[in-house]
Structure 1
Amino acid sequence: MTTPKQIDRVAWLALVAGENREHGGNDGYDDEPAEHYSWDSSVPNHARVKVGDAIVLWEERGLIGASVIESIETAEVDKWVHRCPDCGKAGIKRRRKQPRRYRCYKCKAEFDEPRSEQKRVTAYRSKHDRGWVDLAGCLSAGQLRPLAYLPDSQNSFRQLRWGNFVGAVHASGLDVSLRVLDAAGEQIAGGHARAVVRARRGQGAFRRALLDQFGSVCAFTGKAPVDALEAAHLYSYATTGRHDSRGGFLLRRDLHRLFDLGHIAVHPTEATLDVAPALFAFPDYASLHGKGLAVPLTAGHRRWLQEHWAEHRTSVPQPLPAV
């Protein structure tokens, strides 16, 4: 069930199309979905997007993830705009396999080189990594489009019905939580961005403290190369805005991500791994279910793990299905 806060959140559905997203015949944008999104003043709704708004990123295959915009950088820049030499419109696409390199989707002309010119625009770039939630595979493009206020729009930015989106995510059947996003949104609204910046700058010291404490050991699988290990918070630093080495483990990158999403949890009293049923199809992860940790737990660890368990689990660990 969605809350009034979720229903009232301003949200934008933003299209990502690979490393070189094209819009209006330009040279593309440098998107990194989990961290930032770029657009410019040639894009409809470009100036309506604000700090504190939710941003939901998708591609033609479906949903990628969602977050809350922490900041927006702006700059005046010159960009190349490529137009059809016949009709002068920018609705052109580069083709890789056809003899003529370009096709105009306005007048249907085919040509080898566009008419190019520079245009002064305002460039925008969001920062939104703090509350990022990976939702790949949760909703298809066909399920996402009807959630926009203008489902048939072709705009890169479309305003999204946030309450409907949250409901669709919860109904997807995947074990995902938007609480990290909500916590980041509350902190941004409260004006605490500076505390989070300080916390991120301490990430290196946090990792060094964990290496001193545990050695080169993944808490879930045992000894591992130092370069393969990341410092994982057992609590949400988006909420607390601080590092505490008493509340962290070293984890392999893939396990760190799965732990953050709640796909892997630790039973706070039995100190055993609980793997979500969605991962049972992957033998390397399924084999971890029910196994003990490779590091000892302190009372502080158990307290943080209890909160993580309460957020992502509603029952005792489930046994693996019979093979």
Structure 2
Amino acid sequence: MIAVEERKRAGDGYDDDPFRHYSWDERVPNAATVAVGDVIALWDTKTLLGVSVIEAIEKGRGEKILQSCPFCGRADVAPRKTMTPEYKCWKCKEEFSEPATRSITVTTYRSRHEAAWIDLRGLASGAELRQLCEKPGSQLSLRRLRWDDFRARIERGKAPTPLTIVDTLREIVAGGHRETTVRARVGQPAFREDLLTTFGSVCAFTGPGPEQALEAAHLYSYAANGRHYKGGGLLLRRDLHRLFDLGLIAVNPETQTVDVSGDLACYPTYAQLQGRPLSVAITIDHRKWLGKHWNMHRCARDRLESRKSRQVHSA
């Protein structure tokens, strides 16, 4: 599916945070068809923001304010930016300063999708995304997306970005697990300073490097909880930080060596990191967080590939 994120700026009462969750209610077309395990792509009407997998849907009750034309009672009214009166009914064509309002109780829905969030900001325009919907002319907030075509556009575009983490998390969700993936993100300045004090100007994968090129990588989803955990960060070169984020590079928590995905085998700069020991000494806490990352991006992937292999042989 594809969903619009920018509604909250229009004062519709939604509390969307594209990295973590998306909200809607029963009056939104397709409201009840959204399910755990669905892929969700979010945009702001102008450009793609990112993509993820719905891990859970929270259901509740809430109040919704409905606006309607005070003359004919139809809900087809909208404010105008430059003309007065501010409102016009597009059904009966009457103009008015304030719409009629009433409050109703509705079923509310809120997705949780922070685990597999992949930031794809700017990799596809609004016009391109509309054409990738099953109904390009639709104006609905929740729209069905042609996933295979969308995936091909992202993975083979000008800035190819693999979406394999989506397959991994869909497998985990289908199996009933609720593990939380690790999403490496730039931490706050104090967090980075603490890592520089601890490790010096050293990339955990490649060794000493200029401080300006090193980012503070959280070894868990900082966006999901906003906390800095002990042993929860390492310094990584910017490009490696991004690849770690996508699971294309991981760390074996037992051997403390770098594991490079086969997707990067054609790039010597990254392929040569395979099996390389970490350049810094890590603690038990680091190993714990790296273990969670490994379970998501390696163990779950192996289970998925094993299941696909069994399906091929049984066909």
TM bin, normalised by shorter chain, reads: 0.5 to 0.7
Equivalent positions of 1:57-72 (< 5 A) are 57-72=42-57
Q: In the alignment, residue 132 of structure 1 is paired with which amino acid?
A: W
Q: In the alignment, residue 218 of structure 2 is paired with which amino acid?
A: A
Q: Confirm or deny that 1:16 pairs with 2:5.
A: yes
Equivalent positions of 1:1-323 (< 5 A) are 12-21=1-10, 27-193=12-178, 195-196=179-180, 211=195, 214-215=198-199, 219=203, 221-222=210-211, 229-232=216-219, 249-250=234-235, 258-260=242-244, 300=255, 302-304=257-259, 306-307=260-261, 310-312=262-264, 314-317=266-269
> What's the CA shift for 1:15?
1.7
Q: Is the 8 A contact 1:79 1:120 kept in 2?
A: yes
Structure 2 residue runs of 5 or longer lacking an equivalent are 204-208, 221-228, 271-315
Q: Is the 8 A contact 2:154 2:160 kept in 1?
A: no
Q: In the alignment, residue 191 of structure 1 is paired with which amino acid?
A: G
Q: Deviations over 1:44-80 (max 9, x none)?
A: 1100101011111122212211111000011111111
Q: Is the 8 A contact 2:64 2:104 kept in 1?
A: yes
Provide the rounded CA distance (Å) in 1 between the counterparts of 2:175 and 2:161.
25
Q: Is the 8 A contact 1:13 1:157 kept in 2?
A: yes
Q: Is the 8 A contact 2:116 2:166 kept in 1?
A: yes
SS in 2 for 1:82: strand
Provide the rounded CA distance (Å) in 1 between the counterparts of 2:60 and 2:200.
43
Q: Is the 8 A contact 1:218 1:229 kept in 2?
A: no
> What's the CA shift for 1:211?
4.5
SS in 2 for 1:52: coil
Q: Is the 8 A contact 1:230 1:256 kept in 2?
A: no
> What's the CA shift for 1:103?
3.2
Q: Is the 8 A contact 1:131 1:185 kept in 2?
A: no
> What's the CA shift for 1:100?
2.6
Q: Would the alpha carbon gap of residues 106 and 37 (structure 1) be closer, same or farther in structure 2, given more than 3 Å must change?
A: farther
Q: Is the 8 A contact 2:240 2:249 kept in 1?
A: no
> What's the CA shift for 1:158?
1.3
Q: Is the 8 A contact 1:33 1:57 kept in 2?
A: yes
Aligned pairs, how many? 248
Q: Is the 8 A contact 1:63 1:141 kept in 2?
A: yes
Q: Is the 8 A contact 2:64 2:105 kept in 1?
A: yes
Q: Is the 8 A contact 1:229 1:250 kept in 2?
A: yes
Q: Is the 8 A contact 1:131 1:182 kept in 2?
A: no
Q: Would the alpha carbon gap of residues 57 and 41 (structure 1) be closer, same or farther in structure 2, given more than 3 Å must change?
A: same
Q: Is the 8 A contact 2:195 2:233 kept in 1?
A: no
Q: Is the 8 A contact 1:148 1:158 kept in 2?
A: yes
Structure 1 residue runs of 5 or longer lacking an equivalent are 1-11, 234-242, 269-297, 319-323
Provide the rounded CA distance (Å) in 2 between the counterparts of 1:257 and 1:20.
32
Q: Would the alpha carbon gap of residues 93 and 221 (structure 1) be closer, same or farther in structure 2, given more than 3 Å must change?
A: farther
